[in-house]
Amino acid sequence: MRTSHSLLLLSFMILGLVAVVPVKGDVSGLSVNVGDYWTYNFSTLSGPLNLTGTLKLTILGAETINSHGASVDLYKVAGDGSGYATGGFVTGSWTISGTQFARRSDMAGVNGTLSITIQANGITATVVAASDMSPAQEQVTFPLYVGKTWTQTVTTNTDLTTTLTIPPNPPTTTTTSTSNTTTTTYAVIDNPVVKVEAGSFDAYEIRSSDRDSVSLSYYSPQVSAPVKSVSSNSTTGQVTTNMSLKEYSTFPYKTSYNLSGTSRLVYVQSDVSPSNFQQNATVVSFTLTGRDGTSGHVAVTLPFQLNTTDLKVYLDNQAVSPTISRTSNNYTISFSLAHYSPHTVAVSYGSSVVQTPSQPQSSLTLYLILGGVAVAIIIILAGVLMLRRRGRTTPPSRSSEQPSAPSSAPQVEPQPAVSLATP
């Protein structure tokens, strides 16, 4: 059961790395919120089977529960995934679902229930794992900086229920319980720019190891989660699990500004801190400064009460084509950019178009969800499928507008931020 336990611990890594208050030097106040999600490309190898597909982690809500005799404020996080199972003569599919509770203060994993089903060559196996961790599993501690190290010992108690269906026989169900204590060491070894499908991100490379495995996770404050993780067998060096960020919805920085002379607010959401907010009757603008070579995304929310008949976006005085979504009260204008220097963003919500003034230039994470239950199923399936070699094979928005825009950007006047709030 040791191999199963190792991956069960990994199942909490993304959750542990989706952190509420990551800090990098002068960067602080980052956050996650209910509704945020992260989707990962995923593959894991165990025995004869290779599972590939996607995994999605979503924050569903906030609750307070009793854990080990204490009242704890938690986030409820859902994990869902699916993909293909292949190996030798086996071709099939897998699905996974479950929920986990994590401390709101640092997103350390407390407990959860995961279910995975694999169907291959006419056989179906389902394993449900209910796990409790003491103390809560902390995969990262803040502030992060290159050279930082820490160690944590965690006891994981797990109840496994396995149901195996081999036609024409009826399903059979077995239950087991395990308790494992593992000591893991962590070290922040680098601060690279990491490129994945979702973009290029400023990241911390964190190396973790226990007696069975070695992992490299790349945590990025830009997405409040890891953007990549690779796990290997500590003895053979063989890569057993690989994950990389495919898409995400979180904005670590959420800032609101009062529009001068009104009670209305403009909300700016971004992956780096906005500054130098300016406005006039038809334009708002601000500055974004990120690390060279990284990607960024921005969303600006404007109330309907403004003159929003002619929405346009300018990046460094050049018109861009944003995605525009509507609710009953607001417009939200979203777009992406590449960080290589300070950028001036101007959003025009009127018909007046003039040149933008120059602005000062300044320098500037259910991780696998799959976890140990996958290994339990893989071992079961591999054994059964090898015996049934001749068995039959079972094959496995938002609304938007693309407004036209002239090439020059509108002029605005300085206006300090009045309040900070989440839209």
Q: 236: Cβ–Cβ under 8 A, 6 or more apart, which residues?
A: none
Is the pLDDT assigned to residue 341 strictly greater than 90? no
How many structural domains is the chain composed of? 2
Residues 257 and 304 sit within 8 Å (Cβ to Cβ): no
Q: State whether 277 and 379 are in the same domain.
A: no
Whether 358 and 371 share a structural domain: no
pLDDT for the residue 27: 32
Residue 69 pLDDT: 80
Question: What is the model's pLDDT at position 26?
Answer: 30
Residue 200 · residue 216 · CB < 8 Å:
no
Question: Mutual orientation of helices 2-10 and 371-387 as an angle, nearest 10°?
Answer: 140
pLDDT recorded at residue 177: 97
| pLDDT tens-digit readout, 104-130 | 877 788 899 999 999 998 999 999 999
CATH at 287: 2.60.40
- Report yes or no on 84 lying in a domain: yes
- pLDDT of the residue at 8: 41
Do 227 and 376 have their domain in common? yes
Residue 328 resides in a domain: yes
Nearest to 52 by CA among 62, 64, 42: 42
Same domain, 102 and 207: yes
The token duo for 141 is 């501690």
Q: How far is CA 137 from CA 55, 103, 120, 160, 368, in A?
A: 20, 10, 33, 20, 14
The mean pLDDT of the chain is 79
Highest mean pLDDT out of 91-105, 147-161, 253-267: 147-161
Kindly report which listed range (58-67, 299-308, 367-376) carries the lowest average pLDDT score: 367-376
Question: What is the model's pLDDT at position 351?
Answer: 52
Instruction: Identify which has the larger pLDDT, 8 or 256.
Output: 256
Cα torsion 148, 151, 157, 162: sign: positive
pLDDT of residue 363: 26
Six token digits for residue 111? 């407990």
Asked whether residue 299 falls in the same domain as residue 318, the answer is yes
Assess whether 172 and 58 both reside in one domain: yes
Rg (CA), the chain: 24
Query: In sequence order, what are the residues at sequence separation of 6 or more whose Cβ sits closer than 8 angstroms to the Cβ of residue 94?
Result: 51, 53, 81, 82, 83, 84, 85, 116, 117, 118, 119, 374, 377
Domain that holds residue 314: 273-362+400-414
Say if residue 381's pLDDT is above 80: no
Does residue 377 belong to any structural domain of this protein?
A: yes
| Same domain, residue pair 179 and 287 | no
Six-digit token pair at 346?
């101007």
Same domain, 171 and 58: yes
Q: Which of these ranges, 102-106, 120-124, 372-376, 406-410, has the smallest mean pLDDT?
A: 372-376
**230-246 pLDDT, tens per residue?**
999 999 999 999 999 99
Pair 121, 174 in one domain:
yes
Instruction: Say which residue, 74 or 105, is predicted with more confidence.
Output: 74
Find all residues with CB under 8 Å of 70, minimum gap 6, and list them: none
Mean pLDDT in residue range 318-342: 90
The residues, ordered by sequence, that sit 6+ positions from 298 with a Cβ below 8 Å of its Cβ are 268, 269, 270, 271, 288, 334, 335, 336, 337, 345
CA distances from 206 to 143, 190, 226, 230, 249 (A): 13, 8, 10, 11, 23
Rounded-to-integer distance, Cα 150 and Cα 226, Å:
18
pLDDT category at 384 given cuts 50, 70, 90 is very low
Confidence class of residue 334 from pLDDT cuts 50, 70 and 90? Answer: very high
- Per-residue pLDDT at 138 exceeds 80: yes
Instruction: Tell me the helices (H) and strands (E) count for the chain, helix number first.
Output: 3, 25
245, 122: one domain: yes
For residue 263, tell me if it sits in a domain: no
Cα torsion angle, 17, 39, 220, 290, sign: negative
Q: pLDDT-derived band of residue 409, with 50, 70 and 90 as boundaries?
A: low
